[in-house]
Structure 1
Amino acid sequence: MSDVDVLYTSSSQLTQKSGIQQLVLSHGSELEEISNIPCFFWGSITDSLLTAKCLMTISKVVRANYGPVDLTMFDPIVSAGTEQLRFEGFSSCNGVYARLDLLEDAIDGEFIASGTTNVDFNEPMLHALNSIKKGEKMVMGVGSKEVSVSTAKSKVVERNVSLPTRWIKGLTSVQLFLAGMEERFRLNKIQIIPLFQSIPKTAVKSNFYLSKRANKFVFSPIQTKDSVFIGGIHRLRLLEGLLPYCDHLIVYQEKDAETVCFVMDFGKMRLSLALSPSAYRGFSGEGNVLENMIQTVPDEWVQAVNSLLKSNEMFDPTLLSIEHDVNFDTMDALTASLSSIGLLGYDLNESQHYYRRLPFKMSRILALNPRLKNARKLVSDESVEFKVNTPPYIEAKVKGTDVEHTVIINGDQFRCTCNWFTNHQGQRGLCKHILAVKMLTKDG
């Protein structure tokens, strides 16, 4: 599967005019209506030093790689709307997800349009961000107000940048983990720095746990009651440059006690760092979203939601159901489907989904999930034969390649005789045979 080629009309750059730093993040999209928008946001940043350090941290994340394969570095994406900006991205190995939320008090400017786009973090701009001093005024533009932003000493070259398919898949799965998290610990400024100083300096294979002893937090390889599991703890060193500025650190953990998220609260802005269960396991390969994608979302539904909601706007399914006279079950299905194709992110601080306008076509999301595509082919080829179809108990035979598989579903329990299920036991999402059966059942 090839990456998404995104066209930039200019390079991102930071220039100085009359003593004011002006940061222009070039954007690109495969959607014409977004590509034709010259600028999403233009205005001042109220704390330029802290914002620059947070953006540098996001850059460190997207350039980090903790997997066994050396992958190419990629640029983060940004959502603009509802008086805030969200920068987000994944590490090259897709095992670390980071998001910077610039809240209303962090920015002073005009939102010209609402949308989400891929942005260009080039080396000259990163160098300029790293040199920003405290008290300097900085003006940020998300997008480019002109076709050319060249200076007397530099030439703007039109170039293509690939939006990695693993990122697209990651956006459709990481929010499922975030939505299932609950707050476990809250650390103050005094507790944060000593804790992070105890992180091993080199990569470690063993798992660690975060525990609270009296009024002190510690990392330990020993699990205790109420401790938080952390796989690949050395990945937390990505946050080191922000420790002196953090007011509070909130630790969230998912129900399965494997995925964890650290949220640094700076008052005007927040930075979230989510870690997959291990350094060698990325968010995009889980396949847990496939069950929610069984029900196809009609294009007109997506267009209707696009017309109702702005990027970053909180998504309240109950309110939407009441206001637009939509059946609650239908809205639940829509919410699950929108989440599964990446149109909904999740804000841990608000404990609520928010709407995200993606810079790529919806058809691309479905094309990235071959198991779902293969399941639909099984259905169209009439390869599923029900032996028992009396929910909650269902038993079916599914034709495979030179073999016939048995699928049994009993309420929330399911199993299949195929190799995928044998190897993963449902930990990486449903196999194509179970998906096909669920598509044909009343519950699917």
Structure 2
Amino acid sequence: MTDLQIQYKGISTYTKSKGISSLVLAHQTEIESVNNIPCFFWGSLTDPYVTAKCWSTIAKVVRSSFGPIPPSLRDPIASAGTEKIRFEGFSSCNGVYVRLDMKPEAIDGDFIATGTTNVDFNDPMLNALNSIQKNEKVTLAVGQQEMQVITSTTKVTEKKVTLPMRWIKGLTCVQLYLADMDLKFEANKIQTIQLFQTLPKGSVKGDFFITKRAGKFTFSTLATADGVRIGGIQRLRLLEGILAIVEKIFVYESADRETCAIVCEFGKMQLLMAFSPDAYRGFSGEGKALEHMTGNLPVEWIHGLNSLLKSNETFDPTLLSIEHDIDFGTMDQLTSNLSSIGLLGYDVTERNHFYRQLPFKTERILSLNPRLKNAKKLIENSDVTIVDKKDGYVEANVKGSGVVHKVIIDHNGYRCTCEWFTAYQGKRGICKHVLALKIAL
């Protein structure tokens, strides 16, 4: 699969003059109207040391890999708007998702425009982040004036990077996992340090669980009723660089106990790190978004929402339904569709969605999933035959490769006789045969 090529007109720069540090993040997007905006935000960081540590953690995540895919340099996605700035990204294997939510108290400046872009985190800038002191004054610009480098020593250079298709697919899935999570544990600073002191050394196999006994948290190989499962526990070492400055952590777990997330609280900002079920399983391949892609979302609706909502704005389906006279059932479907194509993110602490203006065209997302393509091909070839349909029950025959599969959808869920369903039992998304029947219905 070909990655999305991004060409920067300049590079991210970090300069220091008369004791004032300036950080300018180069940006580029497929959306022309956003590309014409020289800068989204310009201002200063109120807590530059903590911010720098969090950015370094994000860079650590996006340069890591825990699966068969080798680590490679990737650039985080930044969203500016509604008095907030968010940075997010994935590990190269797509099994770890990270997001920094910078609250209004973390920044002091002007939002010139609202939007989302992927930014250039280059080596010189990362080295500079590591040198930032607690009392330094740091100016942040998300974007770049006239797409030029603001420094007297560095020439303007073009730089090609890639936005991986796995990231785009991951954005269509990860918020569906986050929306399914509940808070399990809250640990203060001392409890957090004690917990990570029990983190096993080296690369270990098997499941581990975060458990709490007598007010103390620990990692254990023993499953308990209230324990939070973590697959690929070595991935938690990505958090080690911020443990000394974290105020508290919140541990979340999905309803199926397959995925988990840890939210690190710093007062003015929060860093969330979500982990796929296992180190070898990326969020992009789980197929959780497939069930919400059966309906076609009109392009004009997407353009309408882009003009109506700002990046990072809270997405309130009930309020939107009332204000714009949209049926509640239609709004529920719209919310699912927007989530499934990555236009909605999810805040686990606030328990609500937020709108995300993507730096790439939405039609790109709809063509990424091979199961969705194959399901639509089954429909086009008339390979789906409904043999029984009544209240709460549908049975169909769906042609496979030299065999006909039986698909049943009822109040208990769905079932299929294919090898995919037999192997995963729906844990990695629905198979193309169930998806084809859902589309047909």
With the shorter chain as reference, the TM-score category is over 0.9
Corresponding position of 1:74: 74
Contact 1:321 1:331 in 2 (8 A): yes
- With over 3 angstroms needed to count, the CA separation of the structure-2 counterparts of 1:210 and 1:434, relative to structure 1, is same
For residues 68 and 166 of structure 1, the distance between their equivalents in structure 2, rounded to whole angstroms, comes to 14
Alignment of 1:268-347 (within 5 A): 268-347=268-347
Q: Quick one: distance in 2 between partners of 1:417 and 1:224?
A: 33
SS of the equivalent of 1:186 reads: strand
What RMSD, in angstroms, separates the aligned Cα atoms of the two structures? 1.2
CA distance in 1 between counterparts of 2:337 and 2:230 reads 30
Q: Superposed, which structure 2 residues align to 1:169-180 within 5 Å?
A: 169-180=169-180
How far is the alpha carbon of 1:150 from its aligned partner?
A: 5.3
CA contact (8 A) 2:247 2:265 kept: yes
Aligned-pair distance for 1:38? 0.8
The Cα shift of 1:397 comes to 1.4
Q: Distance in 2 between matches of 1:45 and 1:89?
A: 21
Residue of structure 1 in register with 2:416 after alignment = 416
Contact 1:391 1:411 in 2 (8 A): no
Task: Work out whether residues 26 and 147 of structure 2, in 8 Å CA contact, stay in contact via their aligned partners in 1.
Answer: no
Is residue 87–residue 101 contact of structure 2 (8 Å, CA) maintained in 1? yes
Cα distance in 1 for partners of 2:60, 2:71 equals 14
> What SS class does the counterpart of residue 224 from structure 1 fall into?
coil
CA displacement, residues 365-390 of structure 1 (integer Å, 9 cap, x when unaligned): 01111211221222122221111021
Match of 2:379 in 1: 379
Length-normalised TM-score, structure 2: 0.98
CA contact (8 A) 2:64 2:72 kept: no
Conservation of the 8 A alpha-carbon contact between 2:64 and 2:71: no
Aligned partner of residue 357 in structure 1, secondary structure: coil
Aligned-pair CA distance for 1:126: 0.3
* Amino acid across the alignment from 2:373: K
Q: Secondary structure at the match of 2:244?
A: helix
Deviation at 1:295? 0.6
Structure 1: gaps (5+ residues): none
CA apart distance, 1:407: 1.3
Distance 1:401 1:231, change over 3 A: closer
SS at match of 1:240: helix
Shifted more, 215-224 versus 144-153: the winner is 144-153
The question of whether the paired residues in 2 share the 8 Å contact of 1:262 and 1:273 is answered with yes
Aligned equivalent of 1:204: 204
Which stretch shows the higher mean deviation, 124-133 or 227-236? 227-236
Partner letter of residue 83 of structure 2? E
Q: Secondary structure at the match of 2:147?
A: coil
Q: Which amino acid aligns with 1:244?
A: A
- What is the SS of the residue equivalent to 1:146? helix
* Secondary structure of the corresponding residue to residue 37 of structure 2: coil
Partner of 1:136: 136
Aligned to 1:255: 255
Partner of 1:243: 243
- Give 1:431 deviation, angstroms: 1.3
Matched, 1:390 2:416: no
Is the contact made by 2:69 and 2:92 (CA closer than 8 Å) also made in structure 1? no
Taking the aligned partners of 1:147 and 1:249, their CA distance within structure 2 comes to: 38
Counterpart of 2:242, as a letter, is L
Distance 1:224 1:406, change over 3 A: closer
Relative to structure 1, the CA distance from residue 233 to residue 148 in structure 2 (aligned partners, 3 Å threshold; closer, same or farther) is same
Structure 2 Cα separation of the partners of residues 37 and 202 of structure 1: 46
Q: Which amino acid in 2 is paired with 1:133?
A: Q
- Structure 1 residue 440: deviation in Å? 1.8
Q: Give the corresponding residue for 1:89.
A: 89
Residue 302 of structure 1 and its aligned partner are, at CA, apart by 0.7
Aligned length: 441
Does structure 1 conserve the Cα–Cα contact (< 8 Å) formed by 2:63 and 2:71? no
Partner AA of 1:132 in structure 2: I
Please state whether the residue corresponding to 1:304 is helix, strand or coil: helix
Secondary structure at the aligned position of 1:244 is classed as coil
Q: Distance in 2 between matches of 1:198 and 1:423?
A: 34
CA offset at residue 49 of structure 1? 0.7
Aligned to 1:215: 215
The separation in 2 between residues aligned to 1:182 and 1:111, in whole angstroms, is: 33
Counterpart CA distance in 1 for 2:239 and 2:147 is 36
CA offsets 1:158-183 (integer angstroms, 9 cap, x no match): 12211000000001101011001011
Aligned residue number for residue 53 of structure 1: 53
**CA deviation vs aligned residue, 1:21-49 (integer Å, no higher than 9, x gap):** 10001011111112111111110000111
Mapped to 2, the partners of 1:284 and 1:427 lie a distance apart of: 14
Whole-angstrom CA distance in 2 between matches of 1:95 and 1:380: 34
| TM-score normalised according to structure 1 size | 0.97
Counterparts of 1:67 and 1:113 in 2: how far apart (Å)? 38
2:45 paired with 1:23: no
d(CA) in 2 for partners of 1:55, 1:147 = 22
- Percent identity between matched residues is 59
Give the structure 1 partner of residue 429 of structure 2: 429
2:110 aligned partner = 110
- Could you tell which deviates more after superposition, 144-153 or 112-121? 144-153
